[in-house]
Structure 1
């Protein structure tokens, strides 16, 4: 609504100019209902249609792959996901869902599923020798425990590759060509050609050359192709040109569920722990995955070989996290207080230089510092210390000091930034009042600066502790966890923290122990969560006091 003031003729009574307001029509705003344009036929609809077609095609591929391998959980999850996604993006009413669904999908895939699967694995014996099912373990043990049949003929053999790049063997058996792969037993190939006792062509397969055989030598020497009659055995080769008959030295009895060594008569039975074991305690190499309850959690404290290194790593992890936060915070605070004083010249330039270590990637800085601290060729020993051979990375205590020092270099710029901002938020009137009361510098810092500062930065210090508690990159790239503890069954050392120990248990110990590593991960989660909860609780108390 607009109001217009208009002069109308001569002045009115009393000599005043009469004013009149005029109402002018205004344009009205056409407010539409908040609805989705999910099915409006415009160019954006067709773009969305193409993108959704790609999403659905990928989903159908996952469904087909899950069905082929019998992974019914993945199949069900993908069906639900496809229904939800299509419903959200083709519905006129689901406005918020269009924005929430992508984030929720990634949240479920990378957070919830990961946490749930880690929790599941922690209660199993999943690891080397316990990967698959019991049926797969039986097949693997039968395949791995074979012996060459004495007196059996040598078969002229040719290594072939199927159209799916699957390796196989073609052999001459009484003048007939037989061809097969690891998954398909030998079958006649009447259209194959042979010359001078050597197979030259097999329909549906490519004959490998000598150079190609050399490139895949390891796969070829471990390949076994069975005859159609399983009792006849299988063919294996060590040369790529001659095959020999092998038969399993184990036999499986479905009635008793036991494997028997046909050469010695030793019987291996299910011991209830995912292994086939004999009466004397010996076991076969391949087992299967079973639930073990809380064994992985108790093993960390009860296994004499594991509990010692674990407790040392646990103590060092807490010490490393605390010292990292304390040293970086106080150094950053010191620089923040110094360069927050208006009398310091060139403050902007100096502040910019101080944050440079924070600008470089942490893993790259770790590698550079590892080179600088090298005992024989490092810059620190050779140049700064005149050729001394200080074992910065090979002595336990010096290595710990080194990672604390490197982390101080990497972390103090962050603390410098946050404390600078917090200091500038503190009113100068409080300092003026304290000076009038005769307070000295240390008194003002202890009673004004630090308490007010902690209200702002305490949550960030808690987050920094949680980060350093799991600072895998620094440990791995600077010391690789070394020097290792002597006699430890796993490759852990003096500078390992819990997360790097988890990596060593799961990957670098010669055998994978995913169950134990998952149990350690859950323990880390509980510790960090408990410490964070206590820290935030104390922060709230501090706010209430002040």
Structure 2
């Protein structure tokens, strides 16, 4: 009986300090182990993506980017497996995202602004030469019949070619000429597979017939030797170009007409008569895009007009939304105002909905023929809200006022509530009327808080692409301009049109405009923040 009581008491006794310490150590060790496993899993995913990227970059001979990817991957593994680099563990993700999405974007945009990158000038000179010669290929009449197999690797198509004369096997793509292959799988004297490539089945060949017909594999490093093409994915024939390229002289000769096109040094082959062969290639042009923007009359005029309208649009938008928001904030800040919460909810509804949806709704209501405003509110009027140059600008400002005043209302409401009531009482005791109290006391204190937000609002409206694009599309269009630009276009929407619309897309000129926008906004911000600092010191 005594032994039983002793055993029971030992089982119910609380754990000793040593036991509790051991339990804590076991829990900590288990937590560290789980964290280590989680860290290894995340790094394994990152390393797998990096290895795949390195493989793709290796196939395309992008050595600089390959080296950067490899270096960053090694650095990340070293940081996260090291026990000493604690700050770097937290800073690395943010720094990498900053470099990729901000610094690289700015640097690359700046670089493009000094090139002729655009429609017809997208790639390198070798790619342009290959494209020109590929576009003028004609089949050689006595061409031998090559056995071919269509293969694919990482989305890139290639041809596995068996020479009918000696049975040699070679492999090439649109960009890579035929190179000998030693480890091909043969069936009936024909190469049907090769390591590292996937052979397309007959059904796949049929489904991708357009891509396969466009496939032209250079026969050798010399583009004048022609290319192998196939129609059915089974048999291939030799095609040669009607253009003959002389790398030493830098000329392209049309063998059918005898016309000689010479490299003009600006990324294209041009004949003596001024005829240009496209595509060309990308070259560095220095400040040519910037000079073109200010000297070409067909571009300078629209640029100046759009720039002036952009400043007016941004300034009026900020002023109108601020003063309307401030007026409403003063009204709702009055102690005698009833049902404040209900009215506040109603006023911030425009801010609650996505701006681009609001702009689309307004575009429908302002339609000249069947819009709600003309047909219902104005009894069937035909007012061209969005098609008349001046009315379209007024419409843009009105819609932006509707979208923007709730934000200013909330900001001003918070700023006014942050001003101590003693300030108002002191003004009353000094004999100031409500207008004097507001103008000389509350407004300066309010501006100290609100001015940085007004600067940010100006920068936002300076690049308010969504409103312009969704409401008017930049229209109505200006006449006699070299670029597709309208009366309500602001600089950012004009940049979009130069870069992404029309038959000729000039990314270099668009990037130059972007640099100019960046400089303008930066200068305005610097001056404005200095004024804000002076205002803070004054108060």
Question: Per the shorter chain, which TM-score range?
Answer: 0.7 to 0.9
Q: Distance in 2 between matches of 1:293 and 1:324?
A: 36
Higher helix share: 2
Q: Distance in 2 between matches of 1:53 and 1:171?
A: 41
Residue 455 of structure 2 is matched in structure 1 by: 462
Superposition pairs for residues 397-476 of structure 1, below 5 Å?
397-476=390-469
In structure 1, runs of 5+ residues without a counterpart are 1-29, 31-36, 194-200
Residue 3 of structure 1 is matched in structure 2 by: none
Residue 18 of structure 1 is matched in structure 2 by: none
Residue 103 of structure 2 is matched in structure 1 by: 112
Whether 2:64 is the aligned partner of 1:89: answer no
Please state whether the residue corresponding to 1:42 is helix, strand or coil. Answer: helix
> Relative to 1, partners in 2 of residues 1:172 and 1:153: Cα closer, same or farther, differing over 3 Å?
farther
Whether 2:119 is the aligned partner of 1:128: answer yes
Whether 2:162 is the aligned partner of 1:162: answer no
Whether 2:314 is the aligned partner of 1:321: answer yes
The RMSD of aligned alpha carbons is 3.6
Q: TM-score, normalised by structure 2?
A: 0.82
Residue 471 of structure 2 is matched in structure 1 by: 478
8 Å Cα contact 1:169/1:225 also seen in 2: no
8 Å Cα contact 2:151/2:160 also seen in 1: no
Superposition pairs for residues 296-311 of structure 1, below 5 Å?
296-311=289-304
Q: Distance in 2 between matches of 1:544 and 1:474?
A: 37
Q: Deviations over 1:336-379 (max 9, x none)?
A: 00010010100111112211111111111111111111222221
> Relative to 1, partners in 2 of residues 1:288 and 1:392: Cα closer, same or farther, differing over 3 Å?
same
Structure 1 window deviating more from structure 2 (59-68 vs 502-511): it is 59-68
Structure 1 window deviating more from structure 2 (488-497 vs 336-345): it is 488-497
Residue 49 of structure 1 is matched in structure 2 by: 40
Residue 495 of structure 1 is matched in structure 2 by: 488
> Relative to 1, partners in 2 of residues 1:386 and 1:181: Cα closer, same or farther, differing over 3 Å?
farther
8 Å Cα contact 2:160/2:192 also seen in 1: no
8 Å Cα contact 2:133/2:223 also seen in 1: no
8 Å Cα contact 1:274/1:287 also seen in 2: yes
Structure 1 window deviating more from structure 2 (41-50 vs 291-300): it is 41-50
Residue 9 of structure 1 is matched in structure 2 by: none
> Relative to 1, partners in 2 of residues 1:375 and 1:237: Cα closer, same or farther, differing over 3 Å?
farther
> Relative to 1, partners in 2 of residues 1:308 and 1:513: Cα closer, same or farther, differing over 3 Å?
same
Query: Structure 2 residue aligned with 1:100, among 91, 94, 97?
Result: 91
Q: Distance in 1 between matches of 2:55 and 2:78?
A: 21
Q: CA deviation at 1:192?
A: 7.4
Q: TM-score, normalised by structure 1?
A: 0.81
Q: Deviations over 1:24-79 (max 9, x none)?
A: xxxxxx9xxxxxx9999612111111111111222222222222222222122223
> Relative to 1, partners in 2 of residues 1:335 and 1:157: Cα closer, same or farther, differing over 3 Å?
farther
Residue 26 of structure 1 is matched in structure 2 by: none
Q: Distance in 1 between matches of 2:341 and 2:465?
A: 33
In structure 2, runs of 5+ residues without a counterpart are 1-20, 22-27, 194-198
Superposition pairs for residues 21-100 of structure 1, below 5 Å?
42-100=33-91
Q: Deviations over 1:315-353 (max 9, x none)?
A: 111011001100100000010000100101001111122
State the aligned residue count: 499
Q: CA deviation at 1:186?
A: 12
Q: Distance in 1 between matches of 2:354 and 2:188?
A: 59
Whether 2:497 is the aligned partner of 1:508: answer no
Q: CA deviation at 1:125?
A: 1.0
Q: Distance in 2 between matches of 1:242 and 1:61?
A: 33
Q: Which has the larger radius of gyration?
A: 1
